[in-house]
Amino acid sequence: MVQILVAPNFSTPRICEIMEYTVRSSKPIYLFIALVAVAFFAVACSDDDDPDPDAGVEDVGPDVDPDPDVDPDPDVDPDPDVDPDPDVDPDPDADTGTDPVEPFSEDCTVGLEPGADASATYAAAIEAFVDAEPGDIICFNDGHYEFNDQLSLTQDHIEIWGESRDGTILDFAEQDAGSNGIDVQGVDSFIIESLTVRNTPGNGIEVRDSTGIHFDDLVVEWEGEPSEDNGAYGLYPVKSNTIIIENTRVFGSSDAGIYLGQSEYGVIRHNEVHGNVAGIEVENSSHVEVYENEAYDNTGGILVFNLPELERAEGDFTRVRDNEIYDNNRENFAATGAIVGLVPQGSGVLIVSVQDVEIDNNEITDHDSIGIGIINYDILPQPDYDDDDYYPFVERLRVHSNLIVNSGNDPDQLALELTGLEAPLPDMIWDGIVNTEENGEDERWNCFWDNVDDEGEPSTFVNINPPEGDGMDLGPYDCSDDPPESLPPIAFDDE
């Protein structure tokens, strides 16, 4: 069921906004979820000044200094085994025996600095992670940290701060246990900011089964020429909800730099993704807004996919707007078996089997194969699936007001095979595979309007499988006279 809990810096009013937004959507399932959620949050969204402590809702704005002494979640039972005072360490089990490190900020609960070697550095850090209690802020002072093991975190309401994004380097090149750099599982509220995660064997920062996640001011990168041996994902929230990923740079992922998977309510903004197979990928997720990012030099810029045979079968209500997407012509270096291995070299935006998605006001420039591609999973060279909950048809797609420049002039073989067309390829390519069942036709529209090139000429278009007539004719799908409403924004905090 719906588990929207509010992180310390996610204000209640915005969650109420999400609730209202959810209510407005028409799908019965959402209506049901919304009703349950609204009932759940009725107290939080009211002016009741005695909020139900069981709702787990805290109304703390992002500007409020987190106070580590205050238990932010009345439901959490702080582990009394753990010393509540970070400045004193009477724990006889403590291995390191070193003096406490003076953290760079007085808000920090515990400070860390690099040790003599990877083993010592890891030992000090994992002690801080294991001992962390809700409300704690773990701080890495500037320095080059080498780790030989994964940093795992399972406690609620923890923040991890670096002193500065380019000065606090967490380097996992020597890691030989666990695959992720930082691994967070099953938490309410997690914030990580202002540091670099480098050279992890697996994913850079993975957060799963969690609620209220904020990635801010981070770098995740693999040094050297991007390779199949690099980790799959840089930033990887999965099976989670209420997620903000902002002001990050991700380079070198062998799958997607930023990957939001099987999740709900996400904002991905102001990030720079390059040198990955996919720059940003939203997969089997709902209510996501991807905006004002810069995606370049990947194989594909931004992907919105919905795949079968996953526990979460929905991929919908995602908006990709105001992004700079250019020169994503890197040779595909994904491992065999990965779905992104099917991304043609030189793809700007790819849409697979999602509903209620909006692609608007993006600058999509210099892509050898595809500017915007809209694909039904069923035509991909993938095995048959057995998934009654999965709906492969792209519907209620809004593609508008994009600037698409220099697209499809040197398509790779995969793009030619997928489209069955010859070079040069049009700016916008739709496979045209639609649901032909009777009833519900009114809900099966897709719309394209006001997309132009740098001279103001309308973007070129093809429906590969038109029901009749010329597939290059945008006419039947041009909604410029009566455009559908845009998806409402997703927002969590006061901006």
Per CB under 8 A, residues contacting other proteins are 77, 79-81, 92-93, 95, 119, 123, 126-127, 129-130, 149-150, 152-155, 175-179, 185-186, 200-203, 208-209, 228-233, 236, 238-239, 254-255, 259, 261-262, 307, 309-311, 334-339, 382-383, 385-386
Cβ proximity to other proteins, 60 vs 123, nearer residue: 123
62 CB-near residues (< 8 Å, 6+ apart): 9, 11, 493, 494
Please state the closest distance from residue 334 (CB atom) to other proteins, in A. 8
Least CB distance from residue 321 to other proteins, whole Å?
A: 26
Instruction: State the minimum distance, in angstroms, from the CB of residue 119 to other proteins.
Output: 8
CB of 249: closest distance to other proteins in angstroms? 20
User: Residue 362 is encoded by which pair of tokens?
Assistant: 């993006």
Distances (CA, A) of 490 to 14, 20, 36, 270, 429: 9, 11, 20, 15, 28
C-beta of residue 9 within 8 angstroms of C-beta of residue 135: no
- What is residue 248's three-state secondary structure? coil
DSSP per-residue codes, 354-410: -EEEEEES-EEEEESSEEEEEE-GGGSS------TT-----BSEEEES-EEEEESSS
Check: CB of residue 217 under 8 Å from CB of residue 165: yes
Which is nearer to other proteins, 200 or 323 (by Cβ)?
A: 200
Nearer to other proteins, 282 or 491 (CB): 282
Evaluate whether 212 touches 245 at the Cβ level (below 8 Å): no
CA–CA dist 358, 245 (Å, integer): 19
Q: Put residue 454 in one of left, alpha, beta given phi > 0 → left and psi -120 to 50 → alpha.
A: alpha
Q: How far is the CB of 439 from other proteins (least distance, A)?
A: 29
> By the 8 A CB rule, do 189 and 72 touch?
yes
Shortest Å, Cβ 389 to other proteins: 12
Q: Which positions ≥6 away from 355 have C-beta within 8 Å?
A: 306, 315, 316, 391, 393, 394, 395, 396, 397
Q: Which is nearer to other proteins, 31 or 101 (CB)?
A: 101
Q: Are 277 and 297 in contact (CB under 8 A)?
A: no
The residue among 266 and 371 lying less far from other proteins, judged by its C-beta, is: 266
**Minimum distance, C-beta of residue 130 to other proteins, in the bound complex (Å):** 5
Q: Closest CB to other proteins among 199 and 355?
A: 199
How many C-beta neighbours within 10 Å does residue 7 have? 30
Least distance between other proteins and beta carbon 106 (Å)? 26
Identify which of residues 108 and 339 has a Cβ nearer to other proteins in the complex: 339
Report the length, in residues, of the chain: 495
